[in-house]
Amino acid sequence: MARPAVTAVDLRWPDLVWSHFSRPRFDAFDARVHAAAAAGFAGIGLYVHAYGKMRDEGRPAADIASVVADHGLVLAEVETVKGWWATEGPMADECRLAEELAYELADAAGVRYLQAIGSFECPLDQAVAGFAGLCDRAADHELLVGIEWLPYTNIATADDARRIVEAADRANGGFCADIWHHVRGADNVEMLRRLPADRVFAVQMNDGPPRPVLDDYKDDCLASRVPPGAGSFDCVGFAQTMVDMGVTAPISLEVCSAELWEMPVDEAARLAAEGMRAVLAEVR
């Protein structure tokens, strides 16, 4: 297949990226890449520990980069790092391992974006310093870093993430805006609009039922999503807000769905891409 005409850093709205967690964590990588290319995605994402497993099985980052490029795709994003606030102990060790894997991929494949998540178990000023340090290390590998706010953590809203990013004051530090955590969380459009558009480095799109399916928020968000337009969320309105703000980040389709995970990989990719394209057709 043809090599891509663009690199990961060239991706812009409305380019589509197929997020890693739209499939099971440790599924067949080559089939995933083939399905993304067939569905017309511009890039894919990769979970750092899925890469770590492949590396341990003898598959280096250069081989992964080659497979992606041979399918006309780019490796757009890697996720996730957590514990970035910790200075020592198991959380710090876990974060450094995730960073090591992410930086190997970035150096081999020219990845654009690294995602950061998690609660911080420390004073706010330590969390700010930890995020600044993460951004500085990532900058050595030409990576943007985005905090994804998660309602089940103490970075629960866009405003919570903004306080850390603004205080850290790093050019490559910004945000991931996931429609699921917006709708199921604060559901406050004004919070979104307070984010500087040029720091929204990732936009994650999906859809969901009117009410949670599972009692636990984290379990529900990892199993109950549907493709954009197939649920009750105002996907068009969310996408329109991003456009009106001037957000230029590519669109990552993160459709974590127990139902779609059981489907053939080509079908799951097609449904996600077609759903998002139908949404975009209604955005001005």
**Per-residue pLDDT tens over the stretch 245-284:** 999 999 999 999 999 999 999 999 999 999 999 999 999 9
**pLDDT value for 4:** 65
- Say whether the peptide bond before residue 248 is cis (omega within 30 degrees of 0): no
**pLDDT value for 236:** 98
Sign (positive/negative) of CA torsion 174, 119, 80, 136? positive
Instruction: Provide the pLDDT confidence category of residue 6 given band limits of 50, 70 and 90.
Output: confident
Helical ranges in 39-89 per DSSP H: 48-56, 61-70
Work out the widest C-alpha separation in the chain, in whole angstroms: 50
Dist. CA 51–CA 63, nearest whole Å: 11
Instruction: Provide the pLDDT confidence category of residue 103 given band limits of 50, 70 and 90.
Output: very high
**Per-residue pLDDT tens over the stretch 192-219:** 999 999 999 999 999 999 999 999 999 9
pLDDT at 131 over 90: yes
Task: Pick the more confident residue, 1 or 84.
Answer: 84
Q: Computed over its alpha carbons, how large is the radius of gyration of the chain?
A: 17
Section 123-145 average pLDDT: 98
Task: Extract the tokens encoding 189.
Answer: 């459009």
Task: Extract the tokens encoding 191.
Answer: 């919070």
Decide: 172 and 145 in contact? Cβ < 8 Å: yes
Section 45-57 average pLDDT: 98
pLDDT at 1 over 90: no
Q: Check: pTM over 0.95? Answer yes or no.
A: yes
Angle, helices 158-168/124-139, rounded to nearest 10 degrees: 70
8-280 belongs to CATH 3.20.20.150: yes
Section 138-146 average pLDDT: 98
